[in-house]
Homo-oligomer: A and B are copies of this chain.
């Protein structure tokens, strides 16, 4: 699934997971950073709660799409950074394609 099926199921459920994946496709990041980066880079249009992001990261790691590792800091609590696995890169590619198709389809329906 993912590449062949209709977009609906993919995007409706793993939508935000895909966005997290997209961020991690640029560079490795930690959860708290992802929350503020998402909000900042989208001018507040996408403002996910921590309670959304942390479980999403766990699911992505559970599914083998990302790997996490602890990094100690000089100031403040340690951070758990994540980066994409090869599987994650593939999933991101598929996700981007799914997103493009869904976007086009939704635009057709919404008449934008």
Which B residues touch A6, using CB under 8 A?
39, 44-47
Q: Report if A73 contacts B (CB, 8 A).
A: no
Please count how many residues in chain A sit with their CB below 8 Å of the partner chain's CB atoms: 39
Q: Smallest CB–CB gap between A85 and chain B, Å? A: 18
Bound CA span A23–B110, Å: 7
Q: Smallest CB–CB gap between A67 and chain B, Å? A: 20
Known contacts A45-B7, A45-B105, A46-B6; A22 and B100 CB within 8 A of each other:
no
Q: Smallest CB–CB gap between A52 and chain B, Å? A: 8
Report whether over half of chain A's contact residues are helix, strand or loop; otherwise say mixed: helix
Tell me if B18 and A104 are in contact (CB < 8 A).
no
Which B residues touch A103, using CB under 8 A?
103
State which residues 36-69 of A face B: CB under 8 Å: 38-39, 41-48, 52
Bound CA span A106–B44, Å: 12
Bound CA span A106–B38, Å: 10
Which 7 pairs between the two chains have the least Cβ-Cβ distance? A42-B105, A6-B47, A45-B105, A22-B110, A22-B109, A45-B101, A46-B105
